[in-house]
Chain A
Amino acid sequence: MERRPAEHFDRDLSAALVRGRSVSVPGLADRTVSAVRADRLRRTVIRWGSGLSAAAACLVAVLVLGDPSEESLIVEARSVVAAEESAQFQELLSLADDLALLKPVIERPALVDDLAGGGS
């Protein structure tokens, strides 16, 4: 191939590149708008999804935190048991009180009788 003058280099470079400067694509605008609408819908769904997830997480948190904790359950159980026990003790104690009213039955020893008889 015949060599070109070096002075033509910049002009040739420009001519070669400028040829592809603008490429019109029929229908690209419509395709783009459709893609944008799809993207908008997808992001709306994602936004709603994340909102619902956050709401569900809040609900679970409220339910979990609103429930009595294990410790408080133990304390409650202990108080119930204590109340139950105290009732039983009360019964026992009241029985003891009843018993206390009874006079003790003590057989008098024979020696005491002899002494009492001898003295009289």
Chain B
Amino acid sequence: MADEEEDRRLMALVADGDDDALRLLVHRHHGRLVGYLRSEVGSQATAEELAMEVFIRLHRAAGRWRPDAKLSTYLIHIARNLVLNEWRRRSRKPTSALESAPEPGDSAPESGRRVLELEEAFARAVAQLPEEQRTAILLLVQQEMPYEEIATAMGCPVSSVKTWIHRARCRLKELMSDFYGPET
């Protein structure tokens, strides 16, 4: 709650043209924003570019912003719209979400290599999901957002979010079936 109040205070300052307040806001929120964007677009450079664009748009809207939702949710909402625009521009989906994932080296211990291999496989599988399912599962599992906030960020009912997440889990289990034994 204190975080939200601080966000509101900073947003009011940003609306008055305070660049230091904007710098603070970027410090507070850019990490998770870039993490989410990188998982969506599969590129660190594009994720950083989009994150900057998110904050530029936030700055433009600062005067009109009303704290109906958490600022982090609003940022994800802007980010998702930019991701959709980016895909429309490229007319293709991200080829891989693994650009920055470390390669399993020979010197890594066997257990470490297995973990990395599994993580890479998960990232590939998530990248293959349909857009709504991928966004919903990323926001739930990676960003640990509650269903209501995901619905707000995605501009849809909570029931749709639950459906997408259920389908995403089922699809991921299919895609990862080589790694897991049968369910008991």
Which of A6-14, A48-56, A65-73 faces chain B? A6-14
CB contact under 8 A between A17 and B48, given known A4-B180, A32-B56: no
Bound complex: CA A33 to CA B21 (Å)? 10
Bound complex: CA A60 to CA B105 (Å)? 73
Question: Interface residues of B: mostly helix, strand, loop or mixed?
Answer: helix
**Cβ of A43 to closest chain B Cβ, rounded Å:** 8
CB contact under 8 A between A33 and B22, given known A13-B122, A14-B141: yes
**Cβ of B158 to closest chain A Cβ, rounded Å:** 20
Number of interface residues of B (CB under 8 A): 46
- Does A8 lie within 8 Å of B180, measured CB to CB? yes
Bound complex: CA A10 to CA B169 (Å)? 9
Residue among A4, A9, A29, A37 making CB contact with B27, cutoff 8 Å: A29
Bound complex: CA A4 to CA B24 (Å)? 44
Q: Is A19 an interface residue (CB 8 A)?
A: yes
Q: Would you give the 0/1 interface string for B110-138, flagging 1 where the beta carbon is closer than 8 Å to chain A?
A: 00001001110011001000000000011
CB contact under 8 A between A21 and B180, given known A14-B141, A16-B119, A35-B56: no
Bound complex: CA A29 to CA B58 (Å)? 13
Residue among A13, A16, A23, A31 making CB contact with B35, cutoff 8 Å: A23
A interface with B by C-beta (< 8 Å): 1, 3-10, 12-25, 28-33, 35-37, 39-40
CB contact under 8 A between A18 and B141, given known A4-B181, A6-B182, A36-B56: yes
What are 21 A-B pairs with beta-carbon distances under 8 A? A4-B179, A6-B180, A6-B182, A9-B172, A15-B119, A17-B137, A17-B138, A19-B119, A21-B32, A21-B142, A21-B144, A24-B31, A25-B31, A28-B26, A28-B34, A29-B23, A32-B26, A32-B52, A35-B55, A36-B56, A36-B59
CB contact under 8 A between A20 and B19, given known A6-B184, A28-B48: no
Residue among B52, B123, B143, B183 making CB contact with A6, cutoff 8 Å: B183
- Does A32 lie within 8 Å of B47, measured CB to CB? no
- Does B172 lie within 8 Å of A13, measured CB to CB? yes
Bound complex: CA A31 to CA B34 (Å)? 14
Residues of B within 8 A of A14 (CB): 141
Q: Would you give the 0/1 interface string for B157-180, flagging 1 where the beta carbon is closer than 8 Å to chain A?
A: 000000000000100110010111
Residue among B19, B38, B138, B180 making CB contact with A3, cutoff 8 Å: B180
Q: Would you give the 0/1 interface string for B16-47, flagging 1 where the beta carbon is closer than 8 Å to chain A?
A: 00010011101100111011001100001001
Closest A residue, CB atoms, query B17? A40
Q: Is B51 an interface residue (CB 8 A)?
A: yes
Bound complex: CA A32 to CA B143 (Å)? 23
